[in-house]
Structure 1
Amino acid sequence: MSDRPPLPGRRGVLRGSLAASAALTLPAGLGAAPALALSGRPRAEWGVQSGDVTADSALVWVGSDRPARMIVETSATESFRSPRRWHGPLLGTDTDLTGVTRLRGLPPGRQVHYRVLLADPDDPRRTSEPVLGTFRTVPVRRRDGMRFLWSGDLAGQGWGINPDLGGYRIFDAMARLDPDFFLFSGDTVYADGPIAPAVALPGGGTWRNVTTEEKAKVAETLAEYRGNFRYNLLDDNLRRFNAQVPVIVQWDDHEVRNNWYPGQVIADTDTRYTEKSVDVLTARARRAFSEYFPVSTLRPGAGEGRVYRVLRQGPLLDVFVLDMRTCRNANSPDDQAVDPQGILGREQLEWLKRELARSRAVWKVLAADMPIGLVVPDGQEGRPHFEAVAQGDPGAPLGRELQIAELLRFVKHRRITGTVWLTADVHHTSAQHYQPSRAAFTDFEPFWEFVSGPLNAGAFPAGALDGTFGPERVFVKAPSVGNVSPAGGHQFFGEVEIDGDSAELTVRLREQDGGVLFTKVLQPGRVGQ
């Protein structure tokens, strides 16, 4: 972490800058879509966030309470003397009054302070109070080092924003580490998980939730999906974190519906849904996802329109953001001997192989929204169906394992070093080491997979491991019973720190208050560790 630019007064400024958006309370239907007939100045009620930051660019996001022109000003200092101004889009109802502005030509490896103004389209002199944020651009010097965090699974199983516990406090613990970015590893919302005002806790007591109209049922309409993303932004901790730490975000199933796959038709027995086509639901969810997160490939005119992408983070790190949901085949017993589609789809797999071969970074993080060796059942009646890669058969690769075997073989034979898998999804934290000498499939180099989460959701016991790729669970912390509330602990995030001098990569698995549970140091360029 050497040679970082100083951050004088950074957190104090952020606390003051969010005053305009911090007074979010639920009376008067705040969780609903913003009204359009409003007096006074526009307001950025949902805070700001930045994302997909590179050495010379970044995306800045804001949400408004009415149609407004987005304006971003940037500065090298908190005083905003001689700021640079960026004119962003007109925020309208077609994007739920949200918008993103791309900042270009930024200096590499520096702290950038920004403030967002919302201007009345009919009177540009009438502007909102500024909402401030900050981020660091990607360094171009190896010796700068870096630190980032990852986790997933927010507001699941009915455990929402609990004012008695201070809301999503885990984000304050993460902010104290001052990371370069946060890798949000999917299940960013639980669109299929209604939030009730109160939930009885096992053994007595009551969990209280902040509630909104859109969270009273499973999401089906575009408005309901949008409301799921707005719900999380009611939390003060998350809005403060968003203003301080840029995000690299991916999605998984709960942005749409539990365990979904393309072409799925919801059974008539699931009476919660009147819309039975998962493809229809996915299109609505994807649109809301693209409106509420700054994702470079999903912006208008980006030309790609996909969630998977690679973020080059300087000479030390490339982050390969995978999408193990959009391109997968149907969940099944997953024991077929031939599986061309797999969990990534052929196009994404070939893209990943090309980009890994091109990478010159010391470390290549594979940001997977689902684990490789942990068995994740789908809960189908009859023959068991499976949701992730593994299906519990410890023998030669079958089903989706065939695609992972192809990728691991490619990494070995192209002599690609420094691959590390990070994931969430399973609501506990653990570290797995994969070793050919323990495996049925042996044509790969050893690698590590680290699991974190949830952020604010039910915690669950650790599932079984599949022996196909020879995993050994080196560390795990998980409850012994299912759906433990956040009040019962077992909320986790992970930290990755890369030293600028040695290029050592240190993984720390942390719990809700930031306490370190497990540490692993990996050496650059070394196989078999």
Structure 2
Amino acid sequence: MGSKQPRPAGIDRRQFITGASAVAALVVTGCSGDDGGGGAGSAGTGSSTTASASNQTSTTLHSAKLAADPFTLGVASGDPLPDSVILWTRLAPDALAVDGRGGMPADAESVDVVWEVAADDRFTQIVTSGVFTAEARHGHSVHVDASGLKPGTDHHYRFRVGEWQSPVGRARTLPDGSAERLRLAVANCQMLETGAYAAYRHMAGQDLDLVLHLGDYIYEYPGVPGARPSLPETMVVSLADYRLRYASYHLDPDLQAAHARFPFVVTWDDHEVANNYMGDSVPGTGGSPQEQLDRKAAAYQAWWENLPVRIDPPEGPALAVHRSFTVGDLARLHVLDERQHSEVPPCRPDPESTIDFGDCEAREGEDRTRLGADQEAWLEGSLAEGGVTWNLVGNPVVLAGVDSGAADGDAAYYLEVWDGFPQARNRLTEQLAGSSNPVVLTGDYHQGMVLDVHRTPFDMSSEVVAPEFMAPPISSVLFGQDVSPRTPHLREQLNSHGYLSVEVTPDRLTASFQVVADVADAASAVTTASTWTVDAGDPVTRRA
């Protein structure tokens, strides 16, 4: 969400252990003279960008002389399936090098990275391994699709480049068949300068199957001097800028710890590109439409480079990020993209404006798409697929509706959320109404909330289609306005930082708000502020 203003009214580094056969296989046979034409993730073939364990060799061909540890940004896993998971790192011996290359040598166009997955954290039981070629054109990022894994099982992984060994990460695959439980955390809105990551520190100590991140992973504003500065100090516009901003965030030890412990499933909101960007409109960029597209393309590439996603790299300003994850017969998680395919909100005074607040006739009078026709059709099919008890919807911006107008005044909405797209919202609500036990998981608003999604928004006499749980922000500035006077379907509002924890069983979904006492303190206490339950077959939430 944009710059809303309230209106009145360590993992320990472990020694890399290999058996005799692995040592023989990992001989460096030469230095790279590659011009970067092969696909990142190729093992000498240039045919794949997200490398699969089944199509890689175990011999390194492209080496680099690195003067420092290249694993400063940590390790991560993501987009788990029952038999595979994406393993990620990005080589950056000097993570904050101003050119965005992470301190990688100018002649290191291709660097081979050894990876291993084991059943134990001492790596005495290797499950699968290989070599991934990290390329300069993709920021020397690594996206390994480690396949052939056992469902519903913890696996341990690590990387090596030459003498340098990465921290050890843990990745859990999704269960298959009859699943009895799913535990996840929901995170969003983590501006580095405005708070520490105590929420991630607390999260890393929990027993979770995955973390769902609903966007605003970074913020594009000029870096703010202080205890937690981010680079560059200017507005983020170019690919080098975006790479440097992600590096600033990834250096945080608590964020690294959460990434190393749990698989993340991520989507984006607006600040991964620019405040209140929608479709091809990128306010604040200035210049020509092509310059806006160039900025969008740079942002998309940096997002892909810096996160563990099961997605091929973007080609220009387009990247399909909507996808779903099936957890046995228990649940399906549908992850939405609500920015890339959207039309511009109504009532925007001019193309460069980021002020999307208020109301006007065009809001109800014009049918604007939010998801785009292709994503709408995909979601309809995904929700109709069946075979699960619960349908969880990863929905970056609030769906149920929030009226932020003064109690005795006119309606006023933040129009870049679903309130600005009432016809598209109606289509989505009807899709949810036809699915099994839909639950909407939301971020963006810099508050924690529990809302009822009514078939007719704001009409308390209409059917409740689904509950909506809004995760509080990790660290971004809170929007403290009480919206209850004009939002009758609001069940609870929490003016706190933190995250949402969700436990799903065949009979019940339980959502708990984990709140941070002092966002400025990385060691702050984190406590459960409230807990709500939803029974299968009944969309009305109840306070536990």
TM-score of the two chains, using structure 2 as the length reference: 0.74
1:407 counterpart (408, 423, 428): 428
Q: 1:74 to 1:388 in 2, by over 3 A?
A: same
* Structure 1 unmatched runs, 5+: 1-13, 21-35, 119-125, 161-166, 199-207, 378-382, 392-399, 479-489
**SS of match in other structure, 1:294:** coil
Aligned to 1:159: 194
Q: Which amino acid aligns with 2:529?
A: L
Deviation at 1:177, TM superposition (A): 1.5
Task: For 2:86 and 2:457, locate their aligned partners in 1 and report how far apart those are by CA, in whole Å.
Answer: 44
Q: Which amino acid aligns with 2:531?
A: T
Structure 1 contact 321–367 (Cα < 8 Å) conserved: yes
Aligned to 1:447: 466
Aligned to 2:502: 496
> Within 5 A, what are the aligned runs for 1:21-420?
39-40=66-67, 43-65=70-92, 66=104, 67=108, 68-118=111-161, 126-155=162-191, 158-159=193-194, 167-191=196-220, 193-198=221-226, 208-212=227-231, 214=232, 216-264=233-281, 266=283, 277-299=291-313, 305-333=319-347, 335-337=362-364, 339-375=366-402, 386-391=415-420, 400-412=421-433, 414=434, 416-420=435-439
Deviation at 1:143, TM superposition (A): 4.7
Aligned to 1:6: none
Structure 1 contact 339–403 (Cα < 8 Å) conserved: no
Aligned to 1:486: none
Structure 1 contact 194–218 (Cα < 8 Å) conserved: yes
- Of stretches 218-227 and 456-465 in structure 1, the one that deviates more from structure 2 is 456-465
**SS of match in other structure, 1:100:** strand
Deviation at 1:524, TM superposition (A): 1.4
Q: 1:144 to 1:434 in 2, by over 3 A?
A: closer
Q: 1:91 to 1:436 in 2, by over 3 A?
A: closer
Deviation at 1:195, TM superposition (A): 2.3
Task: For 2:457 and 2:376, locate their aligned partners in 1 and report how far apart those are by CA, in whole Å.
Answer: 25
Aligned to 1:485: none
Deviation at 1:142, TM superposition (A): 3.3
Aligned to 2:97: none
1:523 correspondence with 2:540: no
**SS of match in other structure, 1:515:** strand
- Of stretches 311-320 and 246-255 in structure 1, the one that deviates more from structure 2 is 311-320
Q: Deviations over 1:308-327 (max 9, x none)?
A: 11111222121111011001
Task: For 1:384 and 1:242, locate their aligned partners in 2 and report how far apart those are by CA, in whole Å.
Answer: 35
Q: 1:143 to 1:97 in 2, by over 3 A?
A: closer
- Of stretches 147-156 and 304-313 in structure 1, the one that deviates more from structure 2 is 304-313
1:16 counterpart (12, 16, 25): 12
Aligned to 2:478: 459
Task: For 2:295 and 2:266, locate their aligned partners in 1 and report how far apart those are by CA, in whole Å.
Answer: 20
**SS of match in other structure, 1:320:** strand
Deviation at 1:219, TM superposition (A): 0.7
Deviation at 1:527, TM superposition (A): 4.5
**SS of match in other structure, 2:530:** strand
Q: Which amino acid aligns with 1:91?
A: A
Q: Deviations over 1:335-392 (max 9, x none)?
A: 3556554211121111101110003221111111100134488xxxxx987211115x
Q: 1:148 to 1:442 in 2, by over 3 A?
A: same
Task: For 2:185 and 2:507, locate their aligned partners in 1 and report how far apart those are by CA, in whole Å.
Answer: 17
Q: Deviations over 1:182-240 (max 9, x none)?
A: 1111000001x222223xxxxxxxxx22343x2x0111111001111111111111111
Q: Which amino acid aligns with 2:444?
A: D
How many pairs are equivalent? 440
Q: Which amino acid aligns with 2:427?
A: E
Deviation at 1:441, TM superposition (A): 9.5
Task: For 1:169 and 1:76, locate their aligned partners in 2 and report how far apart those are by CA, in whole Å.
Answer: 30
Structure 2 contact 128–146 (Cα < 8 Å) conserved: no
**SS of match in other structure, 2:439:** strand
- Of stretches 133-142 and 436-445 in structure 1, the one that deviates more from structure 2 is 436-445
Task: For 1:159 and 1:137, locate their aligned partners in 2 and report how far apart those are by CA, in whole Å.
Answer: 34
Structure 1 contact 51–59 (Cα < 8 Å) conserved: yes
Task: For 1:40 and 1:297, locate their aligned partners in 2 and report how far apart those are by CA, in whole Å.
Answer: 31
Q: Deviations over 1:149-186 (max 9, x none)?
A: 00201116x426xxxxxx42221111111211111110
TM-score of the two chains, using structure 1 as the length reference: 0.76
Deviation at 1:410, TM superposition (A): 3.3
* Structure 2 unmatched runs, 5+: 1-9, 17-62, 93-103, 348-359, 405-411, 517-524
Q: Deviations over 1:428-462 (max 9, x none)?
A: 11111234598549775431111123112111124
Q: Which amino acid aligns with 1:386?
A: L
Task: For 1:323 and 1:72, locate their aligned partners in 2 and report how far apart those are by CA, in whole Å.
Answer: 31
Structure 1 contact 18–47 (Cα < 8 Å) conserved: no
